[in-house]
Amino acid sequence: MSGTPEKPGKSAGMRSRPNGTFESHSQIASKLKALYSSVEQQPIPDVFLDLLERLDQAEKLGDPEA
């Protein structure tokens, strides 16, 4: 409620911003993509692989407790 009406059809996130904001958003996006990529390339922990194997075996046996 700043007293300045927003243009119809534009959300608060789409209003004009100072010049440096786009560059900082691009840097944040690049860093997030790099982080996601590094996490994506990590191996699945053995404990999760073991759990998945046990779940698959239980499903094949029709075990309702698993």
pLDDT digits (tens, 9 = 90+) for 1-38: 455 555 554 445 545 555 667 788 999 999 999 999 99
Please state the pTM of the whole predicted model.
Answer: 0.40
Domain residue spans in the chain? 19-61
The string of DSSP letters for 34-56 reads HHHHHHHTSPPPHHHHHHHHHHH
| Alpha-carbon gap, residue 31 to 42, rounded angstroms | 17
64 or 52, higher pLDDT: 52
What number of other Cβ atoms are within 10 A of residue 25's Cβ?
Answer: 11
Residues 27, 35: Cα–Cα separation, whole Å:
12
